[in-house]
């Protein structure tokens, strides 16, 4: 969690009162923050130095990364009657607007641009330091050390009138004096200078050089006189640097991620527009993209600075918190957390289009709450986030502890239980489990295995950090083969396995992808060992109680078999597909697991018997008369002692309604017999494959010995 250090005196001045360390710690706790340190209680704090507060904040609360944001949030929490700040865009007078033109070549390196202007800013040492510190924290946190977003700030009065251009040029064509230097350097010389420099103010830049140094073009920002403003994400020009005397600030933000671009520019202007002469008023900039830029030619007004509409249900909030708050009180609590909330008079009127609306979810107008989330709260994504804010405003300590209305017993998911069974069976067969990474390169998943990418199978990472982590694996084999490669020095043969998930695209799912549980194994030795992986397959099927049908022509109702195949991953003529024939619908599909310690196939071939009928199968005898009555009664008495209550009730019902019970039993048996003939056999499904790896696959994975592999889907056996 990020830690923000603020001046103690200045912070309490903003809150309007002083707090003891204990009182302030409690206030932060109620809001969901934590006091890491109050230097007032530190005996080693240097005398004469101002005391500080160190506050830990959640990683997704970017609005709390500076003293301005924390003080504003806590003050509204304590005094909701102050109202939510209103952020506004006020265009410059006609003819004086600023325009930034984005060239098409920037798409090669950092394609997105945002900007804003703060007019008539009043800086002092504290808020100037906070302004710089917020940029650094955003760079390290949300911007991922400037790889995703980079921020530049300039003295607007030093920028020539006219259009500003954002370009991408070869390094040799770029030359300017970087920040805090008077000498001009070419871009290559500048990169070499920062890499070799031991000065503290230059050395910290070396951690960002790798972002662009290998690119054929560097991003560069010019004003209308071709004076350099910035070379993002490395450094600004010394010509436009800001000082305590700066009144008008031009902000540039470049990015590779459009969403984070908007968040960062909104965060900068909302936090520091409070120092403008017109509080919380920002001057927008027109950003004009050329044809060839991502998204095509267009003009964007920056910053967006817009609230986001959400719809919430009072019933949902109350059910999650265990409260029974009226809707109006929930609205008040949301305003306390900085949201603009109201109870609509018209259900989802034409002027309100919530981002989280669902066509399948119909909300009672009396239950509906309209919430406008301010631009300072990008962490609000779902209705549950709004519910959490209500709980914070109400006070977690004020929530009553109650027993849940439902009583549930925890148990493993069926697929996880089956996974554990397979893992145990493999371990008992002397195979070693491995846990490779779920990410791999595109070539490892397809080209190295002689497979063709269908295009809509693998989930691809948008911004992979390295070439090794480009996609989410669709097969267990890449990880297993890499594990063998990295353990080549171990004694042969190697027997390794994994039972884990792969991921494939699926447009039917809300997240557009789904997990598939698979079992995979690799045998590597001086001999190929096809019989070894085949034996592992048979052992697993025995353990799961699945019949071996031997071939496709088998008349067995359910089981598995293998069938020769021509898979380019494997040596020609040395591969097979695994097929599974599921039990027909209407037949008990639950297999009887063989004892794990048993290797006897007969244990796995047993078919569960049907449940015996509860009704009697013969007509009851006539009641005895005379002396036989006494003997019968005595025998019945002995039988009654042995019978349970349910048996007694069953016998009495059978005696009272013999013809009905017998008739029903016969009818039920006839219907079951007829239904058995009408059950349609489920088509055999391919669940996996096994075989000896092709020499080209061994070469791609740098394996020196032959290997055989096994891989199949687990879920069909549930």
Pairing of strands 432-433, 494-505: parallel
pLDDT at 235 (0 to 100): 95
**Higher pLDDT pick, 167 / 397:** 167
Signed CA dihedral, 292, 294, 300, 303: sign only: negative
Cα(479)–Cα(502) distance, integer angstroms = 11
Rounded CA separation 211/396 (Å): 44
Q: Looking at residues 353-379, what average pLDDT do you find?
A: 89
What pLDDT, on a 0 to 100 scale, did the predictor assign at position 656? 55
**Looking at residue 274, what DSSP letter applies?**
G
Other CB atoms within 10 A of residue 68 CB? 22
- Where do we find the tokens 């042969």? 492
Average pLDDT over residues 575-590: 79
DSSP string, 362-401: ---TTTEEEEEE-TT-TT--SHHHHHHHHHHHH-GGGSPP
Per 3-state DSSP, what percentage of the chain is helix, strand, and coil (rounded to 5)? Answer: 35, 25, 40
Give the whole-angstrom CA distance, residue 522 versus residue 710: 6
With left for phi above 0 and alpha for psi between -120 and 50, is residue 701 left, alpha or beta?
Answer: alpha
pLDDT at 310 over 80: yes
Long-range contacts of 75-78 (CB under 8 A, 24+ apart): 75/14, 75/15, 75/16, 76/336, 76/337, 76/338, 77/31, 77/336, 77/337, 77/393, 78/15, 78/27
* Averaged pLDDT of the chain: 86
What's the Cα-to-Cα distance from 454 to each of 402, 446, 463, rounded to whole Å? Answer: 53, 10, 21
Instruction: Note whether 294 and 111 are within 8 A (CB).
Output: yes
- How crowded is the C-beta side of 77, counted as CA atoms within 13 Å? 22
Beta carbons of 11 and 74 less than 8 angstroms apart: no
- Can you tell me the mean pLDDT for 348-375? 83
Q: How confident is the model at residue 681 (pLDDT cuts 50, 70, 90)?
A: very low
Residue 124 CB partners (closer than 8 Å, separation 6+) = 244
Res. 517 pLDDT band, cuts 50 70 90: very high
303 preceded by a cis bond (ω within 30 of 0): yes
The model's confidence at residue 646, banded by pLDDT at 50, 70 and 90, is low
pLDDT of residue 48: 84
Q: What is the dihedral of CA 482, 486, 490, 492, to 10 degrees?
A: 30
Residue 201: its pLDDT value, please?
Answer: 67
pTM, full prediction: 0.67
Continuous segment of H or E residues that includes residue 196: helix 187-196
- Number of Cβ within 10 Å of residue 39's Cβ equals 17
224 within 8 A of 106, measured Cβ to Cβ: no
Q: Which residue has the tokens 């209550």?
A: 645
Give CA–CA dist 271/214, Å, rounded.
Answer: 35
The pLDDT value given to residue 510 = 82
How do 570-581 and 559-564 pair as beta strands? Answer: antiparallel
DSSP state of 345: S
CB 590 within 8 A of CB 558: no
Coil/strand/helix, residue 59: coil
pLDDT value of residue 645: 56
Residue 615 has pLDDT above 90, yes or no: no
- Which residues, other chains included, contact 61 with Cβ-Cβ below 8 Å and sequence gap of 6+? 379
What is the token pair recorded at 675? 């239904």
At 612 the pLDDT is 35
φ, ψ of residue 608 to 5 degrees: the values are -60, 135
Query: Which tens digits make up the pLDDT trace of 394-410?
Result: 998 899 888 877 788 88
Instruction: Report the C-alpha gap between 650 and 629 in whole angstroms.
Output: 22
Confidence at residue 363, expressed as pLDDT on a 0 to 100 scale? 85
Instruction: Label residue 633 by pLDDT band (50, 70, 90).
Output: very low
If you average pLDDT over residues 431-453, what whole number do you get?
95
Nearest alpha carbon to residue 711 among 499, 528, 542, 438: 499
List pLDDT tens digits, range 659-679.
Answer: 444 444 444 454 554 444 444
Q: What is the pLDDT of residues 32-42, one digit of tens each?
A: 999 999 998 88
Instruction: For residue range 474-494, list pLDDT tens digits in order.
Output: 999 999 999 999 998 899 999
Cβ atoms of 84 and 335 closer than 8 Å: yes
Burial category of 168 from C-beta neighbours within 10 Å (exposed 0-12, middle 13-18, buried 19 and up): buried
Whether 356 shows a pLDDT value over 90: the answer reads: no
* pLDDT cut 90: percent of the chain above it: 71
* Region of poorest pLDDT, from 372-381, 481-490, 504-513, 596-605: 596-605
Q: Can you give the pLDDT at residue 462?
A: 87
Q: What is the pLDDT of residue 339?
A: 94
Q: Which residues pair with 151 in a beta bridge?
A: 253
The gap from C-alpha 378 to its chain's centroid, in whole angstroms, comes to 16
pLDDT at 266 over 90: yes
Among 406-410, 637-641, 689-693, the range of highest mean pLDDT: 689-693
Q: pLDDT band at 360, cuts 50/70/90?
A: confident
pLDDT of residue 598: 41
């Amino acid at each position: 969690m990020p830690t923000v250090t603020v001046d103690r005196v200045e912070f309490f001045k903003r809150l309007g009162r002083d707090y003891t360390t204990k009182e302030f710690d409690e206030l932060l706790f109620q809001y969901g923050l934590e006091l890491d340190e109050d230097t007032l209680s530190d005996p080693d704090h240097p005398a004469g130095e101002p005391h500080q507060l160190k506050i830990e904040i959640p990683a997704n609360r970017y609005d709390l990364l500076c003293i301005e944001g924390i003080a504003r949030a806590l003050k509204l929490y304590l005094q909701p009657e102050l109202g939510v700040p209103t952020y506004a865009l006020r265009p410059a007078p006609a003819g004086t607007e600023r325009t930034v033109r984005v060239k098409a070549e920037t798409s090669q390196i950092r394609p997105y641009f945002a900007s804003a202007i703060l007019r008539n800013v009043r800086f002092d040492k504290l808020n100037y330091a906070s302004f710089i510190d917020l940029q650094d924290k955003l760079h390290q946190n949300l911007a991922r050390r400037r790889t995703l977003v980079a921020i530049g700030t300039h003295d607007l009065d030093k920028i020539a009138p006219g259009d500003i251009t954002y370009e991408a040029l070869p390094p040799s064509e770029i030359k300017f004096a970087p920040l805090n230097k008077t000498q001009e350097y070419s871009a290559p010389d500048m990169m070499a200078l920062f890499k070799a420099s031991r000065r503290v103010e230059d050395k910290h830049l070396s951690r960002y050089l790798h972002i662009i140094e290998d690119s054929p073009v560097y991003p560069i920002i010019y004003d209308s006189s071709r004076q350099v403003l910035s070379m993002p994400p490395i450094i600004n020009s010394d010509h436009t640097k800001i000082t305590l005397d700066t009144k008008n600030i031009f902000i540039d933000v470049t990015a590779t991620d459009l969403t984070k671009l908007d968040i960062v520019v909104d965060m900068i202007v909302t936090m520091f527009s409070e120092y403008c002469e017109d509080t919380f008023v920002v001057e927008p900039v027109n950003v004009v993209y050329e044809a060839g830029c991502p998204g095509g030619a267009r003009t964007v007004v920056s910053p967006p600075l817009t609230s986001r509409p959400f719809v919430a249900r009072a019933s949902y909030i109350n059910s999650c918190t265990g409260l029974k708050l009226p809707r109006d009180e929930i609205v008040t609590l949301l305003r306390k957390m900085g949201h603009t909330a109201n109870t609509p008079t018209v259900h989802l009127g034409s002027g309100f289009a919530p981002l989280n609306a669902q066509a399948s979810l119909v909300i009672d107008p009396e239950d509906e709450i309209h919430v406008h989330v301010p631009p300072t709260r990008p962490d609000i994504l779902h209705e549950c986030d709004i519910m959490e804010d209500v709980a914070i405003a109400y006070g977690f300590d004020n929530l009553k502890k109650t027993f849940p209305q439902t009583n549930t017993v925890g148990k493993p998911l069926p697929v996880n239980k089956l996974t554990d069974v397979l893992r145990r069976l493999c371990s008992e067969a002397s195979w070693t489990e491995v846990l490779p990474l779920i990410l791999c390169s595109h070539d490892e998943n397809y080209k190295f295995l002689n497979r063709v990418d269908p295009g809509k199978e693998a989930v691809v990472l948008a911004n992979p950090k390295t070439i090794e982590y480009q996609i989410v694996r669709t097969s267990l084999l890449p990880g297993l083969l890499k594990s063998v490669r990295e353990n080549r020095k171990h004694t042969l043969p190697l027997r390794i396995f994994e039972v884990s998930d792969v991921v494939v695209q699926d447009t039917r799912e809300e997240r557009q992808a789904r997990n598939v549980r698979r079992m995979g194994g690799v045998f590597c030795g001086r001999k190929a060992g096809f019989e070894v992986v085949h034996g592992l397959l048979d052992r697993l099927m025995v353990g799961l109680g699945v019949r071996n049908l031997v071939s496709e022509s088998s008349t067995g109702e359910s089981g598995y078999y293998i069938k020769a195949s021509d898979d380019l991953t494997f040596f020609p003529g040395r591969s097979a597909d695994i097929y599974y024939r599921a039990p027909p619908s209407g037949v008990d599909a639950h297999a009887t697991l063989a004892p794990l310690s048993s290797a006897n196939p007969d244990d796995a071939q047993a078919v569960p018997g049907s449940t015996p009928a509860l009704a009697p199968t013969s007509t009851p005898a006539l009641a005895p008369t005379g002396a036989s009555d006494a003997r019968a009664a005595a025998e019945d008495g002995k039988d009654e002692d042995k019978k349970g209550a349910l048996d007694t009730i069953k016998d009495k019902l059978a005696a009272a309604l013999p013809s009905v019970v017998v008739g029903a039993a016969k009818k039920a048996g006839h219907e079951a017999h007829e239904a058995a003939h009408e059950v349609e056999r489920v088509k055999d499904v391919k669940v996996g494959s096994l075989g000896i790896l092709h020499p080209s696959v061994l070469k791609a994975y740098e394996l020196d010995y032959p290997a055989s592999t096994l891989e199949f889907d687990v879920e069909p056996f549930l």
